[in-house]
Copies of this chain bind each other. A is one copy, B any other.
């Protein structure tokens, strides 16, 4: 490669993003100065939260500016180093964004040991989505043996880990996923006790049947129809950690129809529901425990993972659009350039 390709936010989407909201720009490969390094992106992570960054509105993070490089987690290799901390050939995990190359002074980058697991797992089971599942479930969900947990997007990056960790903690894990292929995988490969297809006409009845003892923990990452189906099934003292709302990210106006807010509030009062939003960085103090536990569980085969890989940075926009529609099957990873450890 002789040029640096970058995917920029060309314009803010109205509703679902389209190709016109992105621009693939080319520029010269930057040159590292004193104390800096040139990093080449190997893998780029695509995640639902990116939809929020495309909006102008106040949220828990700053929006990507129009014309700016799309943000994202990455695994990179050091091509050139004038930095004492990292050497040429080191594999680093960080947030270098949707681009082939970046110059960095090493801030907020972590060195990856390629000997423990494929380095792309630093973007999934051993990275941000894994920590989201681990910290939100253990800190807010407080799973107890014999309880029932429900999580949607159960074959996805966060949901798959939530259910598998809940199983390790002795819970009944019930997944929700889109279509029979994903549901089969969630039960037969990931070991959930049940998985319900949210596209089924009688989804609500199937979910109730899969939770004969009610729901003690609903790990919320989608909202929409799944949340509405969960509300009547809550047990006393149920917990609802909230880390994502993918079903409503493209929503421009509040929907018309039945107002479900009083139904949720009734459940909050009657069952003393505990609902709490969180962002993975809120629980940074759990990172060491996460690395120890999750690393062990992955090595022991207690936690399995599935990647949905797409080759080529140029395909990232379309892949993100698909992710927001649930078209991925597993953790979405863009193969940006050759992985020297593979």
Contacts and interface: CB of A to CB of B under 8 A. Distances in A.
A258 interface: yes
Copies of this chain held together in the complex: 2
A10 B231 CA distance: 31
A256 B255 CA distance: 11
Given A277-B273, A278-B272, A262 B60 contact: no
A48 to B, nearest CB: 11
Contacts of A266: 245, 248
A272 B280 CA distance: 11
A265 B227 contact: yes
A189 interface: no
Q: Kindly list the 3 A-B residue pairs having the minimum CB-CB distance in the complex, ordered from nearest.
A: A260-B261, A275-B275, A268-B277
Interface in A217-268: 220, 223-224, 227-228, 236, 242-245, 248, 251, 254-266, 268
A19 interface: no
Nearest to A282: B272
A243 B265 CA distance: 10
A330 B242 CA distance: 38
Given A268-B275, A276-B274, A255 B248 contact: no
Contacts of A268: 242, 275-277
A269 B255 contact: no
A225 to B, nearest CB: 11
A279 interface: yes
Contacts of A264: 261, 264
B269 A243 contact: yes
Contacts of A282: 272
Contacts of A59: 270
A27 B74 CA distance: 79
Contacts of A276: 268, 272-275
A92 B311 CA distance: 76
Contacts of A254: 258-260, 262-263
Contacts of A262: 223-224, 245, 248, 251, 254-255
A89 to B, nearest CB: 39
A224 B269 CA distance: 14
Question: Which residue, of A58, A60, A245, A261, has the highest number of chain B Cβ atoms within 10 A?
Answer: A261
A273 B273 CA distance: 13
